Amino acid sequence: VTAEKGGYEHFMLKEIHEQPKAYRDTMRGRINAEGNKVILPELNMTEEQIKNIRNIQVVACGTAYNAGVVGRTMIESLVRIPVENDIASEYRYRSPIVTPETLVIVVSQSGETADTLAALREAQANGAHVLAITNVVGSSIAREANDVLVTLAGPEIAVASTKAYTSQLVAFGLFALYLAEVRGTQTEGQVAKILAAMQALPEQVEEILAQKEAIKGYAEQISEHKNLFFIGRGVDYAVAQEGSLKLKEISYIHSEAYAAGELKHGTLALIEEGVPVIALATQEAVLEKTVSNIKEVKARGADVLAITHQEHLTDLLRSVDQVFVIPKTLPMLTAALSVVPLQLLSYYASLALGHDVDKPRNLAKSVTVE
Ligand code: G6P
pLDDT value of position 205: 98
Query: Can you give the pTM of this predicted structure?
Result: 0.97
pLDDT tens-digit readout, 227-255 = 999 999 999 999 999 999 999 999 999 99
What percent of the chain is predicted at pLDDT more than 90? 92
pLDDT at 2 over 70: no
Compute CA distances 69 → 161, 227, 295, whole Å: 16, 24, 27
What percent of the chain is predicted at pLDDT more than 70? 99
| For ligand 1, mutation pick of 109, 169, 242 (most atoms within 8 Å of CB) | 109
Amino acid making up residue 279: A
pLDDT tens-digit readout, 186-212 = 999 999 999 999 999 999 999 999 999
| For ligand 1, mutation pick of 120, 144, 244, 366 (most atoms within 8 Å of CB) | 366
Which residue lies with its CA nearest to atom 5 of ligand 1? 62
pLDDT tens-digit readout, 102-128 = 999 999 999 999 999 999 999 999 999
Distance 62 CA to ligand 1 centre (A): 5
pLDDT at 266 over 90: no
Looking at the CA of residue 249, tell me the nearest atom of ligand 1: 8
171-181 average pLDDT score: 98
pLDDT value of position 171: 98
Contact 178, 36 (CB under 8 A): no
pLDDT value of position 316: 84
159-171 average pLDDT score: 97
134 lines ligand 1 (CB under 6 A): no
Distance 309 CA to ligand 1 centre (A): 30
pLDDT value of position 369: 85
Distance 290 CA to ligand 1 centre (A): 30
Looking at the CA of residue 61, tell me the nearest atom of ligand 1: 6
116 lines ligand 1 (CB under 6 A): yes
Which residue lies with its CA nearest to atom 8 of ligand 1? 365
Q: State the chain's mean pLDDT as an integer.
A: 96
41-64 average pLDDT score: 97
Distance CA 110, CA 107 (A): 9
Alpha-helical segments (H) within the chain: 11-17, 19-27, 47-52, 62-79, 88-91, 114-125, 140-144, 163-183, 188-209, 212-222, 235-251, 287-299, 313-316, 335-352
218-234 average pLDDT score: 96
Question: Active site includes 365?
Answer: yes
| For ligand 1, mutation pick of 61, 346, 356 (most atoms within 8 Å of CB) | 61
Distance 20 CA to ligand 1 centre (A): 21
319-324 average pLDDT score: 94
pLDDT at 52 over 70: yes
Looking at the CA of residue 64, tell me the nearest atom of ligand 1: 16
pLDDT at 363 over 70: yes
Three-state DSSP class for residue 233: coil
pLDDT value of position 1: 58
pLDDT at 74 over 70: yes
32-58 average pLDDT score: 97
pLDDT tens-digit readout, 343-358 = 999 999 999 999 999 9
pLDDT at 276 over 90: yes
Which residue lies with its CA nearest to atom 2 of ligand 1? 365
Residue 48 burial (C-beta neighbours within 10 Å; 0-12, 13-18, 19+) = exposed
133 lines ligand 1 (CB under 6 A): no
321-335 average pLDDT score: 97
| For ligand 1, mutation pick of 113, 116, 169, 339 (most atoms within 8 Å of CB) | 113
186 lines ligand 1 (CB under 6 A): no
162 lines ligand 1 (CB under 6 A): no
When pLDDT is cut at 50, 70 and 90, the band that residue 318 belongs to is: confident
pLDDT value of position 160: 95
